[in-house]
Structure 1
């Protein structure tokens, strides 16, 4: 460690450049992890808000909520501790100034999936909704009359709730009658029992009994089958893994070049009795210090960036995950240094000093 630290102090510019490269790589890793978490949260917020264990959909729906159409009589609660009906519709909502893609969820006010109201009040009359608070940030307010695409019906925002986005769009919560009026019009009478799913809570999901035309899936499986959810997460995760490899390769190249430049010095030191093990340990220690400095600076910069990003950028940092990624970056950097270690071990002192 003594030799490693002294060499860093005596070659500040050279090693500052190495640290700079590691800072950029680690910063990108941490930022991508925050972006992956933010986008994941953006897709699943409202489902997590249910705190449910499973959901019942039709077999032919391909685990898509809007493609599942069933009746309130299709499930009697057998095997479930709690259950409630859920209906869903997608639309474009406008308050006259702003337009937003939204999902409309019809929920029972007494059910466990009824959202908490953070501002305003719960919907009481037909045509009222509780909106996700991201709409408030976009200019929607309590009391706004909201028009919807493909219908002449309007909705009134009675209140706001937090953390209620589904598949990257804000959710409007209302009652079943209002949703049916929006979807089918005032004269629709044969759709009163039509819903999209049953949301259930139970400690034993396998014990839930449903009709053969229905399927019971756990909440996590339902989330993973949301359009684009798995593909998006897999893409960002692969990018992070490739950055680990790039980090190891880049640092290995830097250290190898530095080692080649110092072959004669290492040869003299070995001729004086300094062991290959000590020199190799010095390179590993030097790599550890460089990687540690790069990871710490990159982590700080990523977190600071998160504070200044606008709310529209979905970044969410999970610090335990970032710590894990930081340790992996340090580990792969040390692994990359073993190329230089092999070079040092193979140095012949006589040849190195020109003997």
Structure 2
């Protein structure tokens, strides 16, 4: 460690460049991890809000909430500790020159899907909705009357709730009657007006449904089957893992070049009786110091950047994940130093000093 630190102090510029490269790589890794977490939250916020264990959809829906359609009478066949009905449609909501993609949830006010209201009040009659506070970022406010692209009905925002987005769209919560009027039209088809999309359940879900036309799906499985959710996560995760490889290669190249430049010095040290193990420890210690400083600076810069990002940027930093990735970056950097260690082992002292 003494030899490693002294060489860093002696050749500051050279090693600052290595730290700078590692800092940029770690900064990108941390930012991508925050982006991955933020995008995951955009898709699943409202589902996590349910605190449910499973969701019951039709067998032929292919685990898609929108493709599922069942009759309200089928709720009686569900055997679960708690159950709640759910209807869902996607639409574009407009108020004046403001507009936003939304997901409308039709629920019963006395069931557990009813969200906590952080501003305003809960809906108490038809055409009233509790909206995700994400709509505030689009300029919507309490008392706004919304027009939906899929209906002639108008909805009034009477309250706001937090953490309520589904498939990246802010959620509007309304009673079942409002949902059914918007989806099917009032009084046009009494049979269709009894349709919902799903039944959300809590407790033991193994034998919660006996109807062969329905299937119960674990919540995590349901989330993984949301459109684009898995593909998006895999893409960002692949990018992060690829950056680990890049980090290892960069460190390996830099240290190998430095080692080649110091072959005569290493040869002289070996001729003086300094062991290969001592020199190897010195290179590993040097790599650890460089990687630690680069990752630490990247970590701090990432957190500082997060303080200045606009709310529209879907970034959410998970400190535990960031620390884990930081450790991985340091480890792969040390692995990249192995090539330099092997080069040192192969140095012939006599040849290195011109003997």
Which TM bucket (shorter chain)? over 0.9
Once superposed, which parts of structure 1, at least 4 consecutive aligned residues long, lie more than 4 Å away? none
2:193 maps to 192
Instruction: Give distance in 2, aligned partners of 1:136 and 1:335.
Output: 48
Tell me the SS of whatever aligns to 2:249.
helix
Instruction: Give distance in 1, aligned partners of 2:299 and 2:80.
Output: 45
Instruction: Give distance in 1, aligned partners of 2:49 and 2:210.
Output: 24
Q: CA deviation at 1:76?
A: 2.3
Query: Unmatched 5+ residue regions in structure 1?
Result: none
1:213 maps to 213
Q: CA deviation at 1:78?
A: 4.3
- Spell out, residue by residue over 1:265-311, the C-alpha distance to the aligned partner (whole angstroms, 9 max, x if none): 00111111111111111000000000000010000011111111000
Tell me the SS of whatever aligns to 1:47.
helix
Q: CA deviation at 1:77?
A: 5.4
Q: Does 1:148 align with 2:148?
A: yes
Instruction: Give distance in 1, aligned partners of 2:206 and 2:269.
Output: 69
1:329 maps to 329
Query: Unmatched 5+ residue regions in structure 2?
Result: none
Instruction: Give distance in 1, aligned partners of 2:210 and 2:220.
Output: 19
Tell me the SS of whatever aligns to 2:76.
coil
Bigger CA drift: 55-64 or 144-153?
144-153
- Spell out, residue by residue over 1:31-63, the C-alpha distance to the aligned partner (whole angstroms, 9 max, x if none): 000000000000000000000000000011111
2:269 maps to 269
Instruction: Give distance in 1, aligned partners of 2:124 and 2:140.
Output: 19
Tell me the SS of whatever aligns to 1:76.
helix
Tell me the SS of whatever aligns to 1:31.
helix
CA contact (8 A) 2:184 2:193 kept: no
- Structure 1 residues 127 and 35 mapped into 2: Cα distance closer, same or farther (>3 Å)? same
Instruction: Give distance in 2, aligned partners of 1:8 and 1:200.
Output: 60
Instruction: Give distance in 2, aligned partners of 1:49 and 1:28.
Output: 30
- Spell out, residue by residue over 1:251-270, the C-alpha distance to the aligned partner (whole angstroms, 9 max, x if none): 00000000000000001111
Instruction: Give distance in 2, aligned partners of 1:68 and 1:217.
Output: 13
2:342 maps to 342
Instruction: Give distance in 2, aligned partners of 1:76 and 1:252.
Output: 65
1:80 maps to 80
Structure-1-length-normalised TM-score: 0.98
Instruction: Give distance in 2, aligned partners of 1:75 and 1:134.
Output: 32
2:106 maps to 106
CA contact (8 A) 1:68 1:197 kept: yes
- Spell out, residue by residue over 1:203-229, the C-alpha distance to the aligned partner (whole angstroms, 9 max, x if none): x22121231111100000000000000
Instruction: Give distance in 1, aligned partners of 2:264 and 2:321.
Output: 43
1:63 maps to 63
1:23 maps to 23
1:167 maps to 167
Q: CA deviation at 1:190?
A: 2.1
CA contact (8 A) 2:44 2:223 kept: yes
Instruction: Give distance in 1, aligned partners of 2:279 and 2:174.
Output: 70
1:239 maps to 239
2:116 maps to 116
Q: CA deviation at 1:150?
A: 2.9
Instruction: Give distance in 2, aligned partners of 1:142 and 1:151.
Output: 21
1:227 maps to 227
Structure-2-length-normalised TM-score: 0.98
Number of equivalences: 354
- Spell out, residue by residue over 1:153-178, the C-alpha distance to the aligned partner (whole angstroms, 9 max, x if none): 11000010000000000000001111
Instruction: Give distance in 2, aligned partners of 1:190 and 1:208.
Output: 25
Tell me the SS of whatever aligns to 1:87.
strand
Instruction: Give distance in 1, aligned partners of 2:184 and 2:88.
Output: 13
CA contact (8 A) 2:209 2:215 kept: no
Instruction: Give distance in 2, aligned partners of 1:269 and 1:222.
Output: 62
CA contact (8 A) 1:256 1:339 kept: yes
